[in-house]
Amino acid sequence: MKIGLVTTVKNEQALLRRNLLYHHYLGVDECYVYADDPGDGTIETVADLPFVRARVTVPVDRFREHPQLAGEIDQYQYVPSRQVLNVFDAMAQARSAGVDWLFHLDPDELLCVDRRAMASGDLRARLAALDHAVEMAWFAPLEIVQTGTGYKNVFAEATLFKRPVRTILKSVPDPVSGATVSIPSYYGHVAGKSGVRLSAFARPANPHRFCRMDGGPLTSATLGDVLHYFAYDFDDFYKKLLHMKTQANVFRGGGQRTPQKRLWKAMMNDAATSRTALEDHYRRWVVLSPDDVARWRRRGTLFGIPWRPPALVEVRSAANAWRDIG
């Protein structure tokens, strides 16, 4: 079995190399990296890795003859659409290289096949054990808890994540309008990430899932979690805000971006909001305090009886695997 990974990068110098080394440790053989106009030397950080295939983002005219990709071409100015086109291109490259499975991830995402412990080649072993009828392997999302602490290597140090089944709410002031906004616990996404068996007649449906060429669903199985290190400290938070400045508030499918992302976009486009003010907002309203962490690590109760899992879960396997990598 041969496994591939595709990612689109802009300014990910701090994470890309570590991300690819981690997944190579789990069993990934080929990494397809698409440079989306990075300005920080991101690609140079992985130039020496023999399993990396780096190229620039797919041009807008590459797949105009594919009607299934018309929506992505029409929305090419947005990163998610360029990601989909890059994944479609990587699927062809991977098939030519004899790759059996291809996973699409962002540089701030790690696959986790076991929350307790992982060893070299574990992803390969899990895929080999799947029924051959399974065409898509899906990983459920776990979001990093923002603590405000700086990291030398966040993948090796951070171990606390939010579950998608519980919500942490904060009422925060909108520094632009003065209104109060209810902020839910998820800052990244709740859609998870997936990989596709390349023998299937498939295409990327969006940055999170694959589908049949006609848009129909693939036969899928849940294989583990995807650990999403979204805005893990202020520097990364600020980088994400820069990306949000020009993003639409409504997705192409009709859903709206979450309240806090609309708030952050408004803050970034308000000339009166300084970087210092943004850092103060992050530390006061995004970071969870020790009391917040303690409260949300407790099980939910109904009439004093525990009935829901805690909102926060500790995952040490990825950090331990990184220490094995060195």
Q: Under a CB-based contact definition with an 8 Å cutoff, are residues 101 and 4 in contact?
A: yes
CATH of the domain at 233: 3.90.550
What local confidence, expressed as pLDDT, does residue 265 receive? 83
**Which pLDDT does position 198 carry in this prediction?**
98
CB atoms within 10 A of CB 201: 11
The string over 68-94, giving b where at least 16 C-beta atoms fall within 10 Å of a residue's C-beta and e elsewhere, is: bbeebbebbeebebbbbbbbbbbbebb
pLDDT tens across the length of the chain (326 residues)? 999 999 999 888 889 999 999 999 999 999 999 998 767 788 889 999 999 999 999 999 999 999 999 999 999 988 899 999 999 999 999 999 999 999 999 999 999 999 999 999 999 999 999 999 999 999 999 999 888 778 889 999 999 999 876 666 677 776 667 777 666 655 667 889 999 999 999 999 999 999 999 999 999 999 999 999 988 999 988 888 887 777 766 666 666 666 777 778 888 888 778 889 889 888 888 888 888 888 888 876 666 666 678 888 999 999 999 988 87
Residue 185: the pLDDT is 53
- Res 292: pLDDT: 84
Cβ distance 102 to 196 under 8 Å?
yes
- Other beta carbons within 10 angstroms of residue 294's beta carbon come to 11
- Looking at the structure of the chain, the number of domains it has is 1
Full domain range(s) for residue 115: 3-325
pTM above threshold 0.95: no
